[in-house]
Structure 1
Amino acid sequence: MTVPFLNRRPGWGSDIVRGTIAFAAALVCLFLAGAARAHGVEEGDQAFIEGTSGINIVPYMYLGAKHMVTGYDHLLFLAGVVFFLYRMKDVGIYVTLFAIGHSTTLLVGTIFDIRANPYIVDAIIGLSVAYKAFDNLDGFTTVFGKRPDPKVAVLVFGLFHGFGLATKLQDLTLSQDGLVPNLLAFNVGVELGQFMALAIILILMNLWRFSPSFQRSALVANAALMCAGFVLVGFQMIGYFTAQGA
């Protein structure tokens, strides 16, 4: 479901501009303060992963859940996915597709050491946020006359989201002793974290939908979400070209 473009009040365009600028400014400050943590593994967690061997189910589940609930790129994408989903059945379908994609590349990429440039992968993850916001704004139908299959898009972008973490884990020295069980536990933790984060998002979203200004503010929110996605893309591409020139 996409936002209807009827009954726009005068000045709604300026609201979008102001909301977009404010949201982008907040994101820039966030990146400057904690850029090294973006979609990565914190130093303390790295030390644990590299310093342990054998099967550690509970710690890896915790690390997986922590990654999801602190991964703002994941959360922005999920917020875009469920933004106009009103039935729990539809939410379940889309979130399941995302989980399938995310789990597949996380496990396969790490276990079989399938590598790609992490900046490019994370740039595509940022693009997924912008893509979903543009889709919510009915941009594809308006501009191109046809909307890509949203379910296929969520599955495909889920593959990139999972591969994004796989590229970070590949930079660590992972013990082969208990590797597969630990990765499975990590993935379970990711899904549990996703469930917890999604529950909060849906509660807040449903409260917001009762607001009489939801239609107008939804336009502003998705414009800001699209801006956030492009900021993520730009940040990762700057990192890519900086690394290439080093």
Structure 2
Amino acid sequence: MRNSAIQTVSLSFFRFPRGAARLWAFAMMGLARPSLRRVPDIGFWKLCGSGTGEGFTPIPNTGVYAILATWPNLKVAQERTDSEYIFKRYQAKSEENYTLFMSTLSARGIWSGAAPFDSNPVSDTGPIAALTRATISPLAALSFWRRVPDISSVIGQDPNVAFKIGIGEIPLLHQITFSVWPDTHVMANFARKDGPHARAIKAVRDGNWFREELYARFRILDSRGTWHGRDPLEHLRHAA
């Protein structure tokens, strides 16, 4: 199998109905940790909450949570996220869930003091995902969050974005942005454009806003489930 020896990254999103399920999901931000540590073959993992809207706000959204994890290969990633008790519990409690399976094309920086993603710079044809993660300096948090709504608006207006969400480990200070694009060329064109995104990157560099940062690009291997009632990547597959 082509991907049998390639590290796979899974990113699972869960949407919970109001009431007891949301209280359960919030509590699991702490309580799920021992269970995740015991999952066979799991490598680096993180439990994440989200912000309101599409996640690009500092106001917590109690209805959407995510689990990111690394695995030895695609087959193991699919099997563990389908069959392990902790993942099955999240799926059963949620009203909707969606998982992306990816291989890392490139990664630079660190996350919690580690370099979690093993790069495999093979063919980058097809849908591409971009992930940025930063620990924001408390003194810079206000300046950072002032710029985020403009960045989110620009990404949202781009018809090429198949999927986007903001998540994080700790509200205000640990922020992750994740987006899926049709291909590398389209994503690079957006990144190079002058606008709120480019100006925010310059401000980050000039102001030394981040204590720790990581930038990664992934090739999409597979997806399961739905988000807002559909697979966000379906039209990209048809186009391919």
Higher helix share: 1
Normalised to the residue count of structure 1, the TM-score between the two structures is: 0.24
Which structure's relative contact order is higher, taking Cα pairs within 8 Å and 6+ residues apart?
Answer: 1
Higher strand share: 2
Larger radius of gyration: 1
